[in-house]
């Protein structure tokens, strides 16, 4: 049975669910790798700056490769590229069971990064071609929800390490990606091949191609927006646990619980944000408003003006406010994307996440080595505000789409 022969609602549910889980798995492996670094940091002779540098290597390679992955998605199709990425990230985590030095962890980070680079171009190529455009906001929210839940699941590595040790944690943690890679390969009849539209767009008179596609003002602004938001997101995720331990005097396990609460709050916000994205036209106002609320809620954390107990609900609310912006953010990118260029544009724009992720971890790791954890959260406040202004600017630079649905 072909994808076209599957009932539209059944196809949408299958595709949205599977891509959401795949995105969650990719985020899980991103943070699980760094969590493993923190677990073995002292034994392997790594400083916090070293941990940040290894995270930077991961995201640098992923960012460099992500635009190329977008071209590969448009050339070979999203499904096999996505399955390969899932398998490779899983193998990367499994290999951390063997590493014992900066150089070996650096080699593993390259392997994981090559797997990680495929997810955004592949995911959005599938969603944009396979899901009814009237459900795209909710599709994007489930995609983002999956990512946040994947991040929220990664601190489980701490508890697996307590139960079965480092090697067991790495090997058990690798299993989900390998299973999901096989599931993706087995779902061909539900995925609409977006390359049909790519070929149609390439044949159209005046269709943009090559470097010129990425030099549009709106596309460059989207890239910058994602780079700045990732400095916040990834930097905090990787260094929040040791930062809160130093700032609030809490245990490492309680700090890990705080991080899980923050990311679960973000996931809930993304779910709610999907309904906003499908029902409003001014996605820029939704995104900027949520970012400003997140900034305001982060100030009490930066000033250490709350108790560890009150930190939990505050982080849940801050995560919700930031997460609610994500589906509207993705709609903004879609509206800026020329028809038939989903793989390339989403690959390029989302490589901004890798650029920001390259900057955030070493910067925040350096601040931790200087015993300045509160500065991390003041930087977060500033970047939330800057991004609120950035997302309003993107709308002004976006050329309206001429095609109502993909």
**Tens-digit pLDDT profile for residues 260-303:** 889 888 888 888 877 766 676 777 787 888 899 999 999 999 99
User: CA torsion sign, 217 to 223 to 228 to 229?
Assistant: positive
Distance CA 404, CA 218 (A): 19
Given this model, what pLDDT does residue 79 score? 84
Given this model, what pLDDT does residue 378 score? 94
Given this model, what pLDDT does residue 396 score? 65
pLDDT one-digit tens code per residue, 88-109:
999 999 999 888 889 999 999 9
Percent of the chain exceeding pLDDT 70 equals 85
pLDDT at 401 over 60: no
Q: What does the chain come to in residues? A: 406
Please count the other Cβ atoms lying within 10 Å of the Cβ belonging to residue 36.
Answer: 25
Tokens of 194: 């977006």
Given this model, what pLDDT does residue 377 score? 92
Average pLDDT over residues 164-169: 88
Given this model, what pLDDT does residue 137 score? 76
The residues near 184 (Cβ < 8 Å, ≥ 6 apart) are 18, 22, 79, 82, 83, 86
Distance CA 212, CA 356 (A): 23
Better-predicted residue by pLDDT, 225 or 107: 107
pLDDT at 406 over 60: no
Better-predicted residue by pLDDT, 91 or 13: 91
CATH 1.20.1250.20 assigned to domain 3-193+207-397? The reply is: yes
pLDDT band at 340 (very low <50, low <70, confident <90, very high): low
Average pLDDT over residues 142-161: 83
Domain segments of the chain as ranges: 3-193+207-397
pLDDT at 206 over 60: no
pLDDT one-digit tens code per residue, 173-192:
999 999 999 998 887 766 76
Given this model, what pLDDT does residue 303 score? 93
pLDDT at 216 over 90: no
| Inter-residue contact 159 to 112 (CB < 8 Å) | no
pLDDT one-digit tens code per residue, 152-161:
788 888 888 8
Please count the other Cβ atoms lying within 10 Å of the Cβ belonging to residue 5.
Answer: 8
Given this model, what pLDDT does residue 158 score? 85
pLDDT band at 6 (very low <50, low <70, confident <90, very high): low
pLDDT band at 320 (very low <50, low <70, confident <90, very high): very high
Given this model, what pLDDT does residue 227 score? 87
Tokens of 13: 């549910």
Distance CA 24, CA 13 (A): 16
């Amino acid at each position: 049975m072909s994808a076209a022969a599957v009932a539209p609602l059944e196809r949408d549910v299958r595709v949205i669910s599977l891509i959401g889980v795949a995105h969650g798995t990719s985020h899980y492996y991103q943070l699980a790798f760094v969590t493993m670094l923190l677990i073995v940091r002292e034994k392997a002779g790594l400083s916090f700056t070293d941990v940040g540098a290894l995270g930077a290597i991961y995201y640098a390679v992923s960012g460099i490769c992500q635009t190329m992955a977008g071209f590969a998605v448009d050339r070979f199709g999203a499904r096999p590229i996505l399955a390969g990425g899932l398998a490779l990230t899983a193998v990367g985590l499994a290999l951390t069971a063997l590493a014992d030095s900066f150089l070996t962890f650096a080699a593993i980070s390259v392997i994981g990064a090559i797997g990680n680079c495929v997810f955004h171009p592949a995911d959005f190529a599938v969603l944009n071609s396979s899901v009814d455009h009237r459900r795209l906001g909710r599709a994007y929210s489930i995609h983002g929800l999956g990512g946040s839940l994947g991040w929220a699941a990664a601190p489980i590595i701490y508890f697996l390490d307590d139960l079965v040790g480092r090697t067991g944690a790495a090997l058990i943690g690798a299993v989900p990606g390998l299973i999901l890679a096989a599931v993706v390969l087995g779902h061909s009849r539900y995925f609409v091949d977006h390359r049909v539209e790519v070929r149609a767009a390439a044949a159209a008179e005046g269709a943009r191609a090559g470097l010129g596609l990425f030099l549009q003002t709106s596309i460059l602004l989207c890239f910058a927006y994602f780079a700045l938001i990732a400095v916040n997101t990834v930097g905090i995720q990787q260094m929040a646990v040791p930062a809160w331990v130093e700032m609030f005097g809490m245990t490492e396990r309680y700090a890990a619980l705080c991080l899980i609460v923050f990311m679960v709050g973000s996931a809930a916000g993304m779910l709610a944000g999907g309904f906003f994205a499908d029902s409003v036209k001014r996605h820029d106002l939704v995104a900027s408003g949520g970012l400003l609320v997140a900034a305001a809620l982060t100030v009490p954390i930066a000033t250490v003006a709350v108790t560890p107990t009150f930190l939990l609900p505050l982080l849940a609310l801050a995560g919700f406010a930031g997460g609610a912006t994500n589906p509207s953010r993705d709609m903004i990118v879609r509206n800026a994307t020329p028809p038939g260029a989903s793989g390339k544009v989403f690959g390029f724009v989302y490589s901004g996440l890798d650029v920001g992720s390259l900057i955030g971890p070493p910067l925040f790791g350096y601040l931790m080595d200087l015993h300045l954890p509160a500065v991390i959260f003041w930087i977060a406040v500033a970047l939330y505000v800057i991004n609120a202004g950035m997302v309003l600017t993107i709308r002004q630079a976006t050329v309206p789409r001429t095609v109502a649905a993909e």
